[in-house]
Chains A and B, each alone.
Chain A
Amino acid sequence: MIAITRSTHATVKERPVTTLEQKPAKAEGRKDPWGVLLEKVGKHQDRAAYQALFEHFAPQIKYYAISNGIANHAEELVQEVFISIWRRSCLYDWRKAAASTWIFTIARNQRIDMLRKLQRRNAEMAVETEDLWQIPGENEDEPVTSLHRLMSERRIRESLSQLPEEQITVIAKVYMEHKSHQMVADELGIPLGTVKSRVRLALNKLRVILQDQNV
Protein backbone atom coordinates (compact mmCIF):
# COMPACT_ATOMS: atom_id res chain seq x y z
CA MET A 1 0.00 0.00 0.00
CA ILE A 2 2.73 2.43 0.95
CA ALA A 3 4.63 1.81 -2.28
CA ILE A 4 1.52 2.49 -4.31
CA THR A 5 0.85 5.71 -2.46
CA ARG A 6 4.38 6.90 -3.14
CA SER A 7 4.25 6.02 -6.79
CA THR A 8 1.06 8.05 -7.22
CA HIS A 9 2.55 10.99 -5.40
CA ALA A 10 2.55 13.18 -8.50
CA THR A 11 -1.21 12.77 -8.97
CA VAL A 12 -2.18 13.63 -5.41
CA LYS A 13 -2.99 17.22 -6.29
CA GLU A 14 -5.52 16.08 -8.82
CA ARG A 15 -7.56 14.04 -6.40
CA PRO A 16 -11.27 14.81 -6.46
CA VAL A 17 -12.29 17.25 -3.77
CA THR A 18 -15.22 15.10 -2.65
CA THR A 19 -13.03 13.44 -0.04
CA LEU A 20 -11.80 16.75 1.26
CA GLU A 21 -14.18 16.89 4.17
CA GLN A 22 -13.25 13.47 5.52
CA LYS A 23 -9.52 13.42 4.97
CA PRO A 24 -8.44 16.19 7.32
CA ALA A 25 -10.63 14.83 10.09
CA LYS A 26 -9.05 11.41 9.82
CA ALA A 27 -5.61 12.89 9.70
CA GLU A 28 -6.37 15.16 12.63
CA GLY A 29 -7.66 12.18 14.60
CA ARG A 30 -4.39 10.33 14.22
CA LYS A 31 -2.30 13.37 14.81
CA ASP A 32 -4.28 14.76 17.75
CA PRO A 33 -1.32 15.17 20.11
CA TRP A 34 -3.42 14.91 23.25
CA GLY A 35 -4.99 11.67 22.04
CA VAL A 36 -1.56 10.20 21.42
CA LEU A 37 -0.48 11.16 24.95
CA LEU A 38 -3.65 9.73 26.47
CA GLU A 39 -3.02 6.43 24.74
CA LYS A 40 0.52 6.36 26.10
CA VAL A 41 -0.83 6.83 29.61
CA GLY A 42 -3.47 4.18 29.03
CA LYS A 43 -1.15 1.57 27.58
CA HIS A 44 2.10 2.14 29.48
CA GLN A 45 1.27 4.42 32.42
CA ASP A 46 3.66 6.84 30.72
CA ARG A 47 4.38 9.56 33.29
CA ALA A 48 5.96 12.04 30.89
CA ALA A 49 2.87 11.89 28.69
CA TYR A 50 0.71 12.26 31.79
CA GLN A 51 2.64 15.33 32.88
CA ALA A 52 2.30 16.91 29.43
CA LEU A 53 -1.46 16.42 29.61
CA PHE A 54 -1.47 17.86 33.11
CA GLU A 55 0.40 20.97 32.06
CA HIS A 56 -2.02 21.62 29.24
CA PHE A 57 -5.36 20.72 30.80
CA ALA A 58 -4.94 21.37 34.55
CA PRO A 59 -5.08 25.20 34.18
CA GLN A 60 -8.26 24.86 32.09
CA ILE A 61 -9.85 22.62 34.68
CA LYS A 62 -8.85 24.93 37.50
CA TYR A 63 -10.60 27.82 35.74
CA TYR A 64 -13.57 25.54 35.09
CA ALA A 65 -13.85 24.87 38.84
CA ILE A 66 -13.55 28.55 39.75
CA SER A 67 -16.10 29.71 37.17
CA ASN A 68 -18.44 26.99 38.42
CA GLY A 69 -18.38 28.53 41.87
CA ILE A 70 -16.22 25.94 43.61
CA ALA A 71 -13.05 28.03 43.90
CA ASN A 72 -12.36 26.55 47.34
CA HIS A 73 -12.19 23.11 45.78
CA ALA A 74 -10.48 24.06 42.51
CA GLU A 75 -7.17 22.31 43.21
CA GLU A 76 -9.05 19.33 44.56
CA LEU A 77 -11.13 19.11 41.38
CA VAL A 78 -7.98 19.19 39.25
CA GLN A 79 -6.60 16.30 41.33
CA GLU A 80 -9.78 14.27 41.06
CA VAL A 81 -10.05 14.82 37.31
CA PHE A 82 -6.46 13.69 36.80
CA ILE A 83 -6.80 10.64 39.01
CA SER A 84 -9.80 9.75 36.90
CA ILE A 85 -7.80 10.34 33.69
CA TRP A 86 -5.03 8.09 35.03
CA ARG A 87 -7.47 5.32 35.82
CA ARG A 88 -9.62 5.59 32.71
CA SER A 89 -7.08 6.31 30.01
CA CYS A 90 -6.94 2.57 29.29
CA LEU A 91 -10.53 2.91 28.03
CA TYR A 92 -9.77 5.91 25.84
CA ASP A 93 -10.04 5.30 22.10
CA TRP A 94 -9.12 8.19 19.81
CA ARG A 95 -11.51 6.86 17.18
CA LYS A 96 -14.44 7.44 19.50
CA ALA A 97 -13.72 10.87 20.94
CA ALA A 98 -11.24 13.68 20.62
CA ALA A 99 -9.01 13.79 23.70
CA SER A 100 -10.15 17.24 24.80
CA THR A 101 -13.82 16.21 24.52
CA TRP A 102 -13.13 13.10 26.56
CA ILE A 103 -11.31 15.16 29.21
CA PHE A 104 -14.10 17.76 29.27
CA THR A 105 -16.68 15.05 30.06
CA ILE A 106 -14.48 13.72 32.86
CA ALA A 107 -14.10 17.23 34.31
CA ARG A 108 -17.87 17.76 34.05
CA ASN A 109 -18.61 14.44 35.78
CA GLN A 110 -16.10 15.07 38.55
CA ARG A 111 -17.62 18.53 39.09
CA ILE A 112 -21.10 16.98 39.32
CA ASP A 113 -19.76 14.28 41.64
CA MET A 114 -18.11 16.82 43.91
CA LEU A 115 -21.27 18.91 44.17
CA ARG A 116 -23.32 15.79 44.84
CA LYS A 117 -20.97 14.81 47.67
CA LEU A 118 -20.91 18.32 49.13
CA GLN A 119 -24.70 18.56 49.06
CA ARG A 120 -25.49 15.04 50.03
CA ARG A 121 -27.45 14.62 53.17
CA ASN A 122 -27.90 11.09 54.38
CA ALA A 123 -29.36 9.74 51.19
CA GLU A 124 -27.46 6.92 49.61
CA MET A 125 -26.50 7.66 46.02
CA ALA A 126 -28.49 4.96 44.26
CA VAL A 127 -27.34 6.04 40.84
CA GLU A 128 -23.78 7.13 40.26
CA THR A 129 -22.91 10.19 38.23
CA GLU A 130 -21.63 7.99 35.43
CA ASP A 131 -24.91 6.13 35.21
CA LEU A 132 -26.44 9.47 34.26
CA TRP A 133 -23.65 11.24 32.37
CA GLN A 134 -21.62 8.98 30.15
CA ILE A 135 -18.01 9.41 29.08
CA PRO A 136 -17.99 9.16 25.26
CA GLY A 137 -16.71 5.89 23.87
CA GLU A 138 -17.17 3.83 27.02
CA ASN A 139 -19.60 0.94 27.13
CA GLU A 140 -20.69 1.49 23.58
CA ASP A 141 -19.58 0.52 20.17
CA GLU A 142 -20.42 2.91 17.40
CA PRO A 143 -17.64 2.99 14.84
CA VAL A 144 -19.93 4.69 12.34
CA THR A 145 -20.11 7.88 14.33
CA SER A 146 -16.42 8.15 15.22
CA LEU A 147 -15.55 10.20 12.17
CA HIS A 148 -18.43 12.51 12.92
CA ARG A 149 -17.12 12.96 16.46
CA LEU A 150 -13.65 13.88 15.40
CA MET A 151 -14.90 16.26 12.78
CA SER A 152 -17.29 18.03 15.04
CA GLU A 153 -14.67 19.41 17.39
CA ARG A 154 -12.59 20.85 14.59
CA ARG A 155 -15.70 22.29 12.97
CA ILE A 156 -16.89 23.85 16.22
CA ARG A 157 -13.52 25.44 16.85
CA GLU A 158 -13.57 26.98 13.40
CA SER A 159 -17.14 28.26 13.41
CA LEU A 160 -17.15 29.50 17.01
CA SER A 161 -14.94 32.40 15.99
CA GLN A 162 -17.64 33.58 13.60
CA LEU A 163 -20.39 33.77 16.22
CA PRO A 164 -21.47 37.11 17.67
CA GLU A 165 -20.16 37.77 21.16
CA GLU A 166 -23.66 37.75 22.68
CA GLN A 167 -24.18 34.15 21.59
CA ILE A 168 -20.81 32.98 22.89
CA THR A 169 -21.48 34.71 26.21
CA VAL A 170 -24.69 32.76 26.70
CA ILE A 171 -23.09 29.42 25.79
CA ALA A 172 -20.11 30.12 28.04
CA LYS A 173 -22.41 30.77 31.00
CA VAL A 174 -24.24 27.50 30.43
CA TYR A 175 -21.05 25.43 30.08
CA MET A 176 -18.63 27.21 32.38
CA GLU A 177 -20.85 28.67 35.07
CA HIS A 178 -23.30 25.85 35.53
CA LYS A 179 -26.22 28.15 34.76
CA SER A 180 -29.61 27.22 33.40
CA HIS A 181 -31.04 29.27 30.55
CA GLN A 182 -33.35 30.92 33.06
CA MET A 183 -30.44 31.92 35.32
CA VAL A 184 -28.57 33.34 32.33
CA ALA A 185 -31.64 35.40 31.41
CA ASP A 186 -31.96 36.73 34.97
CA GLU A 187 -28.29 37.62 35.14
CA LEU A 188 -28.17 39.41 31.78
CA GLY A 189 -31.55 41.04 32.39
CA ILE A 190 -33.00 39.75 29.14
CA PRO A 191 -36.08 37.58 28.52
CA LEU A 192 -35.73 33.80 28.63
CA GLY A 193 -36.92 33.68 25.02
CA THR A 194 -33.98 35.85 23.94
CA VAL A 195 -31.51 33.53 25.67
CA LYS A 196 -33.08 30.52 24.00
CA SER A 197 -33.07 32.11 20.56
CA ARG A 198 -29.40 33.08 20.94
CA VAL A 199 -28.54 29.51 21.84
CA ARG A 200 -30.60 28.16 18.95
CA LEU A 201 -28.93 30.54 16.49
CA ALA A 202 -25.52 29.51 17.75
CA LEU A 203 -26.29 25.78 17.67
CA ASN A 204 -27.66 26.18 14.17
CA LYS A 205 -24.49 27.81 12.99
CA LEU A 206 -22.38 25.23 14.76
CA ARG A 207 -24.55 22.63 13.07
CA VAL A 208 -25.35 21.03 16.39
CA ILE A 209 -28.98 21.22 15.40
CA LEU A 210 -29.02 18.73 12.60
CA GLN A 211 -32.71 18.32 12.89
CA ASP A 212 -34.88 19.25 15.78
CA GLN A 213 -37.94 17.15 15.94
CA ASN A 214 -40.68 17.46 18.48
CA VAL A 215 -39.94 21.03 19.45
Chain B
Amino acid sequence: MTRHHPDSLTLMEYSAGNLTEPRALCIRLHLAECSHCRSRVDTLDSLGAVMMDQQPKVTVSETSFEQLMARIDAAPEDTSPVVETPRLSPIQKLLGDDLDNLPWKRQLGDVSVLDITDKFADQSERVVLQKLCAGGKAPAHTHKGDETTVILQGAFADKNGVFNQWDFVSLDEHDEHRPVAVGNEDCITLSVLSAPLKLTGTFTRLLNPFIR
Protein backbone atom coordinates (compact mmCIF):
# COMPACT_ATOMS: atom_id res chain seq x y z
CA MET B 1 0.00 0.00 0.00
CA THR B 2 1.58 3.21 -1.12
CA ARG B 3 0.99 6.37 0.88
CA HIS B 4 2.90 9.06 -0.97
CA HIS B 5 1.35 9.90 -4.30
CA PRO B 6 2.08 12.24 -7.22
CA ASP B 7 -0.07 15.40 -7.09
CA SER B 8 -2.96 15.92 -9.50
CA LEU B 9 -1.09 18.44 -11.63
CA THR B 10 1.69 15.97 -12.31
CA LEU B 11 -0.84 13.25 -13.12
CA MET B 12 -2.56 15.64 -15.49
CA GLU B 13 0.71 16.30 -17.34
CA TYR B 14 1.17 12.54 -17.49
CA SER B 15 -2.34 11.97 -18.82
CA ALA B 16 -1.82 14.69 -21.42
CA GLY B 17 1.36 12.91 -22.52
CA ASN B 18 3.54 15.89 -21.69
CA LEU B 19 6.02 14.36 -19.27
CA THR B 20 9.49 13.32 -20.33
CA GLU B 21 10.06 9.57 -20.65
CA PRO B 22 11.96 9.18 -17.36
CA ARG B 23 9.30 11.12 -15.43
CA ALA B 24 6.55 9.13 -17.10
CA LEU B 25 8.42 5.99 -16.05
CA CYS B 26 8.32 7.08 -12.40
CA ILE B 27 4.57 7.68 -12.65
CA ARG B 28 4.02 4.39 -14.48
CA LEU B 29 5.87 2.40 -11.83
CA HIS B 30 3.80 4.03 -9.11
CA LEU B 31 0.53 3.46 -11.01
CA ALA B 32 1.26 -0.23 -11.41
CA GLU B 33 0.97 -0.57 -7.65
CA CYS B 34 -1.50 2.18 -6.74
CA SER B 35 -5.19 1.78 -7.63
CA HIS B 36 -5.98 5.17 -6.09
CA CYS B 37 -3.80 6.96 -8.64
CA ARG B 38 -4.89 4.67 -11.50
CA SER B 39 -8.40 5.81 -10.84
CA ARG B 40 -7.31 9.47 -10.87
CA VAL B 41 -5.51 8.95 -14.18
CA ASP B 42 -8.59 7.28 -15.66
CA THR B 43 -10.61 10.37 -14.82
CA LEU B 44 -7.93 12.62 -16.30
CA ASP B 45 -7.84 10.51 -19.48
CA SER B 46 -11.58 11.08 -19.73
CA LEU B 47 -10.97 14.80 -19.32
CA GLY B 48 -8.57 14.57 -22.27
CA ALA B 49 -11.22 12.82 -24.35
CA VAL B 50 -13.81 15.46 -23.54
CA MET B 51 -11.35 18.28 -24.32
CA MET B 52 -10.54 16.69 -27.67
CA ASP B 53 -14.23 16.35 -28.43
CA GLN B 54 -14.95 20.01 -27.62
CA GLN B 55 -12.21 21.44 -29.82
CA PRO B 56 -12.66 22.36 -33.49
CA LYS B 57 -12.73 19.52 -36.00
CA VAL B 58 -10.63 19.48 -39.14
CA THR B 59 -11.84 17.64 -42.21
CA VAL B 60 -9.53 14.85 -43.27
CA SER B 61 -8.56 14.35 -46.90
CA GLU B 62 -11.25 12.71 -49.02
CA THR B 63 -9.17 9.63 -49.72
CA SER B 64 -8.05 9.19 -46.15
CA PHE B 65 -10.40 6.35 -45.28
CA GLU B 66 -9.73 4.57 -48.59
CA GLN B 67 -6.01 4.80 -47.94
CA LEU B 68 -6.54 3.32 -44.53
CA MET B 69 -8.52 0.36 -45.85
CA ALA B 70 -6.03 -0.14 -48.68
CA ARG B 71 -3.27 -0.34 -46.11
CA ILE B 72 -5.20 -2.86 -44.03
CA ASP B 73 -5.92 -4.99 -47.10
CA ALA B 74 -2.39 -4.75 -48.48
CA ALA B 75 -0.59 -5.87 -45.36
CA PRO B 76 -2.92 -7.89 -43.20
CA GLU B 77 -0.03 -9.24 -41.15
CA ASP B 78 1.02 -5.72 -40.08
CA THR B 79 -2.52 -4.73 -39.28
CA SER B 80 -3.78 -7.93 -37.70
CA PRO B 81 -5.33 -7.81 -34.24
CA VAL B 82 -2.80 -7.57 -31.47
CA VAL B 83 -2.46 -10.45 -29.09
CA GLU B 84 -2.50 -9.52 -25.47
CA THR B 85 0.65 -10.68 -23.79
CA PRO B 86 1.76 -10.00 -20.26
CA ARG B 87 4.12 -7.08 -20.30
CA LEU B 88 7.44 -7.09 -18.57
CA SER B 89 7.75 -4.39 -15.99
CA PRO B 90 9.30 -1.35 -17.71
CA ILE B 91 12.08 -1.37 -15.17
CA GLN B 92 12.91 -4.98 -16.07
CA LYS B 93 12.89 -4.06 -19.75
CA LEU B 94 15.15 -1.14 -19.07
CA LEU B 95 17.68 -2.84 -16.86
CA GLY B 96 17.34 -6.45 -17.97
CA ASP B 97 18.70 -7.76 -14.74
CA ASP B 98 18.05 -8.18 -11.07
CA LEU B 99 18.39 -4.89 -9.21
CA ASP B 100 21.07 -6.38 -6.98
CA ASN B 101 23.22 -7.57 -9.88
CA LEU B 102 23.56 -4.22 -11.57
CA PRO B 103 27.01 -2.65 -11.94
CA TRP B 104 26.54 -0.38 -8.94
CA LYS B 105 29.17 2.27 -8.29
CA ARG B 106 30.00 2.70 -4.65
CA GLN B 107 29.92 6.32 -3.57
CA LEU B 108 30.48 7.70 -0.11
CA GLY B 109 29.77 5.30 2.75
CA ASP B 110 26.44 3.57 2.46
CA VAL B 111 25.44 4.95 -0.92
CA SER B 112 25.84 3.33 -4.36
CA VAL B 113 24.62 4.79 -7.64
CA LEU B 114 24.10 3.82 -11.24
CA ASP B 115 23.53 6.45 -13.90
CA ILE B 116 21.06 5.22 -16.52
CA THR B 117 20.55 8.49 -18.42
CA ASP B 118 21.89 6.85 -21.59
CA LYS B 119 18.90 4.48 -21.67
CA PHE B 120 16.74 7.40 -22.75
CA ALA B 121 16.86 9.26 -26.05
CA ASP B 122 16.30 12.65 -24.44
CA GLN B 123 19.38 13.51 -22.42
CA SER B 124 18.10 16.72 -20.85
CA GLU B 125 17.53 15.12 -17.46
CA ARG B 126 19.68 12.88 -15.36
CA VAL B 127 18.26 9.50 -14.47
CA VAL B 128 19.94 7.65 -11.64
CA LEU B 129 19.38 4.57 -9.56
CA GLN B 130 20.52 4.90 -5.99
CA LYS B 131 21.06 2.28 -3.37
CA LEU B 132 21.26 2.98 0.32
CA CYS B 133 22.34 -0.19 2.10
CA ALA B 134 20.06 -1.59 4.80
CA GLY B 135 20.29 0.58 7.88
CA GLY B 136 22.56 2.99 6.03
CA LYS B 137 22.48 6.77 6.27
CA ALA B 138 22.98 9.28 3.49
CA PRO B 139 24.72 12.53 4.38
CA ALA B 140 22.41 15.53 4.77
CA HIS B 141 21.84 17.31 1.46
CA THR B 142 19.63 19.62 -0.52
CA HIS B 143 18.57 19.39 -4.15
CA LYS B 144 19.24 21.50 -7.19
CA GLY B 145 16.15 21.86 -9.33
CA ASP B 146 13.30 19.37 -9.16
CA GLU B 147 13.77 15.76 -8.31
CA THR B 148 11.22 13.03 -8.89
CA THR B 149 11.84 9.74 -7.12
CA VAL B 150 10.05 6.42 -6.93
CA ILE B 151 11.13 3.70 -4.52
CA LEU B 152 11.83 0.39 -6.25
CA GLN B 153 12.79 -1.66 -3.24
CA GLY B 154 12.92 -1.29 0.54
CA ALA B 155 12.10 1.91 2.37
CA PHE B 156 13.72 5.07 3.67
CA ALA B 157 12.81 7.57 6.32
CA ASP B 158 13.58 11.25 6.63
CA LYS B 159 12.05 14.16 8.52
CA ASN B 160 9.01 14.01 6.21
CA GLY B 161 8.13 10.45 7.16
CA VAL B 162 8.66 6.92 5.96
CA PHE B 163 8.69 6.20 2.24
CA ASN B 164 7.93 2.65 1.21
CA GLN B 165 8.23 0.65 -1.99
CA TRP B 166 6.41 2.35 -4.92
CA ASP B 167 5.93 5.58 -2.97
CA PHE B 168 6.41 8.72 -5.01
CA VAL B 169 8.61 11.55 -3.78
CA SER B 170 8.85 15.01 -5.24
CA LEU B 171 11.58 17.35 -3.98
CA ASP B 172 12.86 20.78 -4.90
CA GLU B 173 15.80 22.94 -3.91
CA HIS B 174 14.13 23.94 -0.64
CA ASP B 175 14.01 20.42 0.69
CA GLU B 176 16.92 19.41 2.84
CA HIS B 177 16.89 15.87 4.05
CA ARG B 178 18.96 13.06 5.45
CA PRO B 179 17.48 9.74 4.36
CA VAL B 180 18.02 6.58 6.38
CA ALA B 181 17.26 3.16 4.90
CA VAL B 182 14.80 1.40 7.19
CA GLY B 183 13.92 -2.29 7.33
CA ASN B 184 16.10 -5.26 6.45
CA GLU B 185 16.49 -4.52 2.77
CA ASP B 186 18.71 -2.16 0.84
CA CYS B 187 16.67 0.81 -0.28
CA ILE B 188 16.78 1.28 -4.07
CA THR B 189 15.29 4.34 -5.72
CA LEU B 190 14.91 5.67 -9.24
CA SER B 191 15.37 9.44 -9.50
CA VAL B 192 14.99 11.94 -12.29
CA LEU B 193 16.79 15.25 -11.85
CA SER B 194 16.00 18.36 -13.79
CA ALA B 195 19.27 20.15 -13.09
CA PRO B 196 21.56 19.70 -16.07
CA LEU B 197 24.93 18.17 -15.49
CA LYS B 198 27.51 20.81 -14.72
CA LEU B 199 31.06 19.72 -15.13
CA THR B 200 32.30 22.09 -12.47
CA GLY B 201 32.61 21.00 -8.89
CA THR B 202 32.96 17.48 -7.67
CA PHE B 203 31.63 14.98 -10.17
CA THR B 204 30.46 12.42 -7.65
CA ARG B 205 28.49 15.04 -5.79
CA LEU B 206 26.63 15.98 -8.94
CA LEU B 207 26.03 12.38 -9.77
CA ASN B 208 24.48 11.57 -6.51
CA PRO B 209 21.29 13.29 -5.35
CA PHE B 210 21.49 11.54 -1.99
CA ILE B 211 24.65 13.36 -1.12
CA ARG B 212 24.54 16.40 -3.31
Interface centre among B16, B40, B46, B53 (most CB of A within 10 A): B46
Closest Cβ of chain A to B150, distance in Å, is: 13
Question: A132-B25, A172-B55 in contact; A153/B8 too (CB < 8 A)?
Answer: no
Chain A residue nearest to B39 in the complex (CB):
A145
Partner of B52, one of A60, A109, A149: A60
Q: Are A176 and B51 in contact, with the CB atoms below 8 A?
A: yes
The interface residues of chain B lying within 8 Å CB-to-CB of A156 are 43, 46-47, 50
Residue contact B5 to A213, C-beta cutoff 8 Å: yes
Known: A132-B28, A176-B51, A214-B5. A123 touches B18 (CB 8 A): no
Q: Which of B67-100 contact A (CB under 8 A)?
A: 67-69, 71-72, 79-82, 84, 86-87, 90, 93-94
Among candidates B21, B67, B69, residue contacting A132 with C-beta atoms closer than 8 Å: B21
Which residues of chain B are near A162, meaning CB under 8 Å?
A: none
Interface positions, chain B 41-66, Cβ under 8 Å from A, are 42-61, 64-65
Known: A175-B48, A212-B7. A131 touches B87 (CB 8 A): yes
> How many angstroms from the CA of A179 to the CA of B168 in the assembled complex?
23
A186 to B57, CA, bound (A): 27
Interface residue range, chain A:
35 or more
Whether B49 lies near A171 (C-beta < 8 A) is no
A134 engages B168 (CB within 8 Å): no
Q: How many A-B residue pairs have CB under 8 A?
A: 216
A87 with B81: CB separation less than 8 A: yes
- Report if A59 contacts B (CB, 8 A): yes
- Contact call A127/B80, Cβ cutoff below 8 A: no
Q: A89 to B60, alpha carbons, bound, how many Å? A: 22
Nearest A residue to B118 via CB reads: A123
Q: Which of B14, B39, B64, B93 contacts A148 (CB 8 A)?
A: B39
Residues of B contacting A55 in the complex (Cβ-Cβ under 8 angstroms): 65
Interface size counted on chain B using CB atoms at 8 A: 66
Please name all residues of chain A whose beta carbon is closer than 8 Å to the beta carbon of B141 when the two chains form the complex: none
Residues of B within 8 Å of A171, CB to CB, are 12, 47, 51
| Residue contact B84 to A91, C-beta cutoff 8 Å | yes
Residues on A with C-beta less than 8 A from B1 are none
Are the CB atoms of B64 and A104 closer together than 8 Å?
A: no
A91 to B54: give the CA distance in the assembly, Å.
Answer: 26
With contacts A174-B13, A208-B43 taken as known, whether A87 is within 8 angstroms of B86 at the C-beta atoms is no
Interface contacts beyond A62-B59, A75-B64, A105-B48: sample of 14 additional A-B pairs, CB < 8 Å, sorted by A = A79-B71, A104-B49, A108-B48, A121-B121, A126-B119, A127-B94, A132-B25, A145-B38, A152-B46, A156-B43, A174-B12, A181-B9, A208-B40, A213-B5
